[in-house]
Amino acid sequence: MSTDRLTAEPELQQPVSPAADKQTMAGRARRFGALHQAERTLRSMRAYGTVILFSSVSQPIMYILAMGLGLGVLVGEGGDFAEYGASSYLMYIAPAILASTVAMAAGIEFTFPVMEGFKWRRLYYGAQASPLSPGQIASGHILAVSVRFGIHAAIFTVVLYLFGAISSPLGVLMIASAMLGGLAIGLPIMAYVSTLRDEKGQMSLIQRFVIMPLFLFSGTFYPLTNLPGFLQVLGWFSPIWHANELGRVLAFGQPSPAWLILLHVLYLLGITVAAWLATVRIFTRRLGLEEWRGRTPGAKADAKRQDRLAVKDAADVDRSAGAGTATTPDSTTPASTALPRIAFRRGFGANYYSGNIRAVFGRGLTAIRNNRGVIFLSGLLEPVLFLTSFGLGISPMIAGVDAEQVGLGGGGTISYAAFIAPALLAVSAMNGAIFDSTWNVFFKLKITKLYRTMMSTSLGPVDVAVGEICLALFRGGIYALGFIGVLLVGGLIDPLAAVLMWCTALFVALGFASVGMAVTSFMTRFQQMDWMMMVLMPMFLFSATLFPISVYPAGVQAFIQALPLWHAVELMRDIAFWDFSSLTLVHIGYYLVMIVAGLALTTYRMKKLFLR
């Protein structure tokens, strides 16, 4: 009523700037502030809107082809999903895959952008200066991400419907359950992230220790009851499981007692509401009058380390003071001797390679040591989790894999766990190498500009590139060591194969690292990295990792065989099952070409980037 008058008034007089009426402005911000913030976030998402839309369409198709049809062939014989109300394996997993992809997106949307808002680009402090309240800033982000989830889920559902993976019209409600699941897993993470003042690998910790386990033990690809009891408990806590089950009830009427359905809804709603409120509270503390700057993760450990170093320093000074009483002036400033000669390589490529890879590698090690080791070690957890989830969860549905079918000699059947273990090792080598050579390199290239600093010294581009690749290999080597250890203990491989597989893991990692780095050198924005993930995902799903390639028609097989991961997987299996053929040489050759081509392109690009 009064608003009508206020907005109408200016028209009677001369046109007045809408900014002139401060009271209306403030009132509008009070009511719709969260929507303004949401609009801003959605607009910024438009920058990578194509990627979002593309992934919403391609993800369901990929999962349907890979898991539904590919794995479905294996499962089809041993599993019967009628008791759950689904007529096929594909139908059974479809709603769960929707919920899981939304949860994965939540893991991204509620972490990096929040860090960006508080620390990296300080966007929230811009909004803070406007009439928006901190709570509205928080809610605005949540609303915008919900819209993103909604669009994703809607497209996903349409694709599933087209593939006949949904039968009930109630299936449309799956969109709501998936969104709720995404919020329930994402909001507590957002609340945590918004307390952080600094990012010291927390994002990857969340990814590996929270989202991955919750996803892998949420009964997405098999009923939760397939798992041993203690892992089932993990599933009960997982919002993804609740969203999965809810989706299944809605999509094909999975028989569930009413109390359980109610429990799913209440659990998801409860977490969402509680975490939403918590997030608003934290935003208010941080952006409100209190000006609380947030916690610095690992601050205590840092302080301890600094104290220790300071004590050591003091001792050093004392010692040198004690030793040099005769020459007191020198004791405070240790007189350095003359500058040692800085050595150079001369001759071929002296302009690009100074023979000092060690320094680049050494810097990386120091940085790893300064960051907390747990992040570093968390990398080996991922393949173990995958093996546990798929090995234990899917095995009951699959009698075993026919050795003949997967192209291994000797006949007989092999256990599903033994079948996927070498493949998972190859995948983990790929993931580690790609992560290091893409995300980390991109960060040092564009955000911290570390390489530019290095290039102002006597280092050449080749030193930098090779040093970084060595670092990626070092990480990859450690990750692989952990996973191979688990395989050895589990009796899935023998010691000789273990050694060879470790070497192969490094070899594979080198291939991916050199190509990954070359590709990264072309990237200019973070969003382009999403396209890279878009290539990796299908590679993982289709490259005969979780089921034999023979389930596909010949044409598709040929395509898969052209991809690098398939060669790595096959190479690993050849070693694990001690079954070599002339194809083994082809796999090795494939990687040699990749390494050489990748390194050549990387060097060329480094020159371009740093010696413009």
Binding site for another protein (CB under 8 A): 198, 302, 305-306, 309-310, 313, 332-337, 339-340, 342-345, 350-352, 354-356, 358-360, 362-363, 366-367, 370-371, 448-450, 452-460, 610-612
CB 188 within 8 A of CB 97: no
Provide DSSP, 351-394.
TT--S-HHHHHHHHHHHHHHS-HHHHHHTTHHHHHHHHHHHHHH
CB 141 within 8 A of CB 41: yes
CB 47 within 8 A of CB 148: no
Taking the C-alpha atoms of residue 540 and residue 537, their distance in angstroms, rounded to an integer, is 5
Residue placing its CB nearer to another protein in the complex, 349 or 589:
349
The DSSP code for 29 is H
Torsion of CA 193, 194, 197, 202, to 10 degrees: 0
Least distance from C-beta 347 to another protein, angstroms? Answer: 12
Residue placing its CB nearer to another protein in the complex, 281 or 363:
363
Least distance from C-beta 30 to another protein, angstroms? Answer: 36
Taking the C-alpha atoms of residue 437 and residue 532, their distance in angstroms, rounded to an integer, is 12
Give the closest residue to 425 by CA, choosing from 471, 515, 487, 473. Answer: 487
Give the closest residue to 389 by CA, choosing from 241, 568, 592. Answer: 241
In angstroms, how far is CA 11 from the centroid of its own chain? 53
Least distance from C-beta 573 to another protein, angstroms? Answer: 38
Q: Which burial class, exposed, middle or buried, applies to 447 when counting CB atoms under 10 A from its CB (0-12, 13-18, 19+)?
A: exposed
CA angle 204, 209, 213 (to 5 degrees): 125
Residue placing its CB nearer to another protein in the complex, 334 or 373:
334
Least distance from C-beta 462 to another protein, angstroms? Answer: 10
Give the closest residue to 486 by CA, choosing from 474, 472, 501. Answer: 501
CB atoms within 10 A of CB 489: 8
Least distance from C-beta 374 to another protein, angstroms? Answer: 16
Least distance from C-beta 464 to another protein, angstroms? Answer: 9
Least distance from C-beta 429 to another protein, angstroms? Answer: 25
The DSSP code for 338 is P
Least distance from C-beta 327 to another protein, angstroms? Answer: 14
- What are the helix and strand counts (H, E) for the chain? 28, 2
The DSSP code for 346 is -
Residue placing its CB nearer to another protein in the complex, 245 or 463:
463
Residue placing its CB nearer to another protein in the complex, 300 or 612:
612
Least distance from C-beta 363 to another protein, angstroms? Answer: 5
Residue placing its CB nearer to another protein in the complex, 459 or 515:
459
Residue placing its CB nearer to another protein in the complex, 93 or 360:
360
Residue placing its CB nearer to another protein in the complex, 391 or 461:
461
Taking the C-alpha atoms of residue 189 and residue 211, their distance in angstroms, rounded to an integer, is 10
The DSSP code for 90 is H
Residue placing its CB nearer to another protein in the complex, 420 or 455:
455
Residue placing its CB nearer to another protein in the complex, 367 or 535:
367
Least distance from C-beta 457 to another protein, angstroms? Answer: 4
The Cα-based distances of 292 to 136, 282, 285, 532 in angstroms read 18, 9, 6, 37
CB 426 within 8 A of CB 569: yes
Least distance from C-beta 528 to another protein, angstroms? Answer: 22
Residue placing its CB nearer to another protein in the complex, 263 or 368:
368
Taking the C-alpha atoms of residue 296 and residue 495, their distance in angstroms, rounded to an integer, is 43
CB 155 within 8 A of CB 56: yes
